[in-house]
Amino acid sequence: MAQIRLDHVSKRWGNFVGVDDFHLDIEDQEFLVLLGPSGCGKTTTMRMIAGLEDPSGGEIWIGDREVTSLDPKDRDVAMVFQSYGLYPNMTVWENIRFPLKVRKVPEAEHEERVARAAAMVELEDFMHRKPAALSGGQRQRVALARAIVREPQVFLMDEPLSNLDAKLRVSTRAQIKNLSHELKVTTIYVTHDQIEAMTLADRVVVMKAGVVQQVGTPTDIYDNPANTFVAGFIGSPAMNLMEGEITEGTFKGDRVSVPGLSGANGKVTLGFRAEDASVTEAGQGAINASVYSMELLGDATMVTVRAGGTMVAVKAAKDYRARIGEPVGIALSEGITHLFDATTGTRIA
């Protein structure tokens, strides 16, 4: 069993706070994604779990052991890095076998365990090549196999897809998802890519400036963001956010008027997703503005309008067409808008 507990873990360098009071229980076999922009503390959190960084405060537990002061080799974790970290003078077979050799696993087991790990990531035909003769995607699969062959309690993956092109990212992401299902090993995955987080995770931890902003399933975080940071970070495109004021149940802002809102008065931020709005005739929508740009996405057309100083994106039908500068209306469906405190950014229930 590899349940992980981060008990009020912090990391500081002088006056700089890298991670602030991180408290979370990660379930056995859970796939947890740490998500956030560069410098938010997600990699530092992973490095503390791995033992590569010492926490400034708090405790780290893996299973029933406190591992806060243990060396990395004694924590039974395997890491997959962004940079692959392969040995260029070794073949694929030797690279995958290397962790078994270091940990003094009986040689009689090496062949079977290496072959099994290689088969999981479809590397059987490349075992005698060296890394220089492999593509980026193949090298990343070697790094995955080298982690799998150890059969650890915990996998730690630090932006493993960042060096791959868009097509390879999609296929390798699917492979990681399938491996997680097959191996049933607790996995912590670091990324700044919200699409990776949404597609891979059982739960997502959204971080900003060392502080956890929200923890939840991908669906919960997408549908019910805790604040404007999460709303603006999750989703492609991000949630539309418009500043304004509610008076007598009607939100009014620059070129926008939305009636039927209760539970808040005064200055607020209104949020809604691109797919929860629709393009209608000029003067007939909650938002009335001119087309700023149009993007054909294949399955839809992304229409962007400029409402005052705010860009608003809306998904229209794939055959929708309009000229740049043409006036249009944006209709909002009832019950799909989100309200946030204008000062703190916190969601208003």
pLDDT of amino acid 138: 87
Read out DSSP for 96-141?
HHHHHHHTT--GGGHHHHHHHHHHHTT-GGGTT--GGGS-HHHHHH
Closest to 22 in 3D by CA, of 54, 53, 45 = 45
Average pLDDT of the chain is 91
Cis before 152? omega within 30: no
CATH architecture of 4-229: 3-Layer(aba) Sandwich (3.40)
Banded pLDDT at 85 (limits 50, 70, 90): confident
- The domain covering 240-341 belongs, at the CATH homologous superfamily level, to Nucleic acid-binding proteins (2.40.50.140)
| Cβ-Cβ contacts under 8 Å for 261 (sequence gap 6 or more) | 246, 249, 250, 251, 337, 339
Q: What would the pLDDT profile of 128-181 be if each residue is shown by its tens digit?
A: 999 999 988 888 889 888 888 888 889 999 988 887 777 878 888 888 888 888
Comparing 23-32, 120-129, 257-266, 338-347, which segment has the lowest mean pLDDT?
Answer: 257-266
Sign (positive/negative) of CA torsion 59, 56, 99, 131? positive
Where, residue-wise, is CATH 2.40.50.140 in the chain?
A: 240-341
Q: What is the DSSP string of 147-197?
A: HHTT--SEEEEESTTTTS-HHHHHHHHHHHHHHHHHH--EEEEEES-HHHH
Tokens of 21: 């009071």
CA distance 173 to 37: 20
Over the Cα atoms of the chain, what is R_g? 24
Percent of the chain whose predicted confidence (pLDDT) is above 70: 99
- pLDDT per residue over 221-273, tens digit each? 999 999 999 999 998 899 999 999 999 889 999 888 988 887 778 999 999 99
* CA distances from residue 328 to 248, 291, 308, 311 in whole angstroms, order as listed: 27, 7, 14, 14
pLDDT at 1 over 70: no
Give me the mean pLDDT over the 65-84 stretch. Answer: 88
Return the top range by mean pLDDT from 105-109, 224-228, 246-250, 345-349. 224-228
Q: CATH 3.40.50.300 spans which residues of the chain?
A: 4-229
> Is residue 289 over pLDDT 70?
yes
Q: What is the pLDDT of residues 42-68, one digit of tens each?
A: 999 999 999 999 999 999 999 999 999
